[in-house]
Structure 1
Amino acid sequence: MKSPWRKQEQNETGTKELYRRKSGKKPPTQDQNAAGDTRNNRTCLFLDRPPGNPATDAVGATGENKSGLMKTQWRKLEQNEKWTKQYAGKLLSDIQKACVNDKNISNIRILLLGSVGAGKSSFLNTVASIDRGRISQITIAGGADGSLTFALKEYWPQYKLKNFRILDTMGVEDNVQGGLNLNDVLYLVKGHIPPDYKFNPATQIDERSPEFRPEPKDNEKIHCVVFVLDATVAGNDNISDARRRKIKELQTALKAINIPRIVLLTKIDVLCEFVDADIENTYKSEKVKEAVNVAKELYKLPENCVFFR
């Protein structure tokens, strides 16, 4: 090959010039990307296209909305708030102040749970990028048929999000012998399983296992579970009966021990073309709204516990 198939970070001139020609605007700096793109209602870590214009992209020349896009938002930001750089900074400040009201707990430990390919590892890379202020990859992400993560991995943010610990492990698969089972999750949440423990569906951990922690400390337990769900799966209601049964079992068991739970919908830009064109269309998208309805019914959680990536 006469030219490299992957460009280095230093060679960004072509990308920036393309952005300028398409949008008519000056491209964002690396710091702006890392801090969050203020035109969008999510944190953008890298811009590969100029911003969309909801006035022209989502609405026709006659002013009528195209099919699939609501005229009013079905979810709003905080009262009197708009998505600005100042509001993004306020949200980050609130996150940095988050803590557990227990002197024995110094960091909030969050467990990611989801099926294979839902986007757990990709989300973890996004968190690392926000924390470090640059594009980062701390775990392999990919659409494999089986789980890419087998060991329990604990990520320790060191900068902007250093008050959190995020744990990633193998996926929750449809079949009984595949992925995490209910006992695995409960042992994990209660702190009995140490970081780097390698899960094996054929040989499950129990109280007799040498790795088992019989009396975990409070700061070794999980304080919140995040269910990661592919929005294209939820939007098409393409969820198997086996997965529904596993989710119901997990929800019942976690609710019984009073563990906070939320849902993270991934790939909403793949689900909806309007969101792909401009992320500000998220709360007007009928497809995203339907995916949220499926998620809140599936996990038996209120709508305000369903978030997006």
Structure 2
Amino acid sequence: MNTINNLITDQPMLHSTSVYGSFKGIYFLSSLVVKFDRYGRQFVCIKLSDVLHSIHVNCFLPHALTMLAAPNVPVYVEIKVSELDSSLIYTCTAIENVPFSDFVRYSGMYGLPLAILNVGDIQKRFFNILEKIYSQHLIDFLAASLLQHHICLNYCLCPASLNYHHNYLGGLIQHSIEVAESVISDESLSESEKQIGIVAALVHDIGKTKTMTPDLNRTSIGYFVDHDNLSLEICANAMGELEKRNEADAIQLRHALTCNTSGASSGYKAKTRLAVALKLYDRDSSNRYAKPNSMRLLLNKQINATN
């Protein structure tokens, strides 16, 4: 695709596009509505979203209606920015569907359409977490895992459970953020452990994107397959690439994601400080009424047991 080959590497994030006369990039098409202007011309108003912001873009291109049969896909766009009556007007001058592989390559994690979830400061918190990850191989693993068809949107919108904790729209990412923030604030973990721990926190429940729906229903596969097993399946290709680039981090990440919880009768026990911390912070977020002090004492006890 020639236009993609000419795409600037540092495409702007949507919250900063107001300062551009024009820009181009690959963004997530989160909705579209057919409208008519005052002259009776039909056009498509599309909504583009990334991790922090969404914009509405007017598209008069003839092929837009047939090409954009459904939202929730990445698109390459070229957009002109103008002003009318002190309001910004975004007009699409080119648009193409692109595969999710291009979405991962050019947008990366900042392309996650989290802005569609209008809940508190969740976008800012997630963005701040991403800013803490400086290991490129881990950033690439995260993007390859989350920016998949039928995964990235559900990751933003699905609940973390149906009846127990975070059982509301966006509960899954809220829970993942809480666990990641706990890892970041844990002074007992080294910087390298935190890098792996942040990523593990963000993907540890990714299997729930296949077992539940944003409107709090269980999927067909959710009745037969545990979400933990699906998490490994979703991350399989990304994990394979991570192993090629940094085998040690891949092993630590696998262990943190697959070791059993305390008291389980099967599986490997948590053998590292990181794995112990992840399990306990997962439990702490799930049980919102747990006393922080008692959780800290339990964490210190189990971490000391691994030293």
Q: Same fold (TM over 0.5)?
A: no
Normalising by structure 1, what TM-score?
0.29
Q: Which has the higher contact order (CA 8 A, sep 6+)?
A: 1
Greater share of helix: 2
Q: Which has the higher strand share?
A: 2
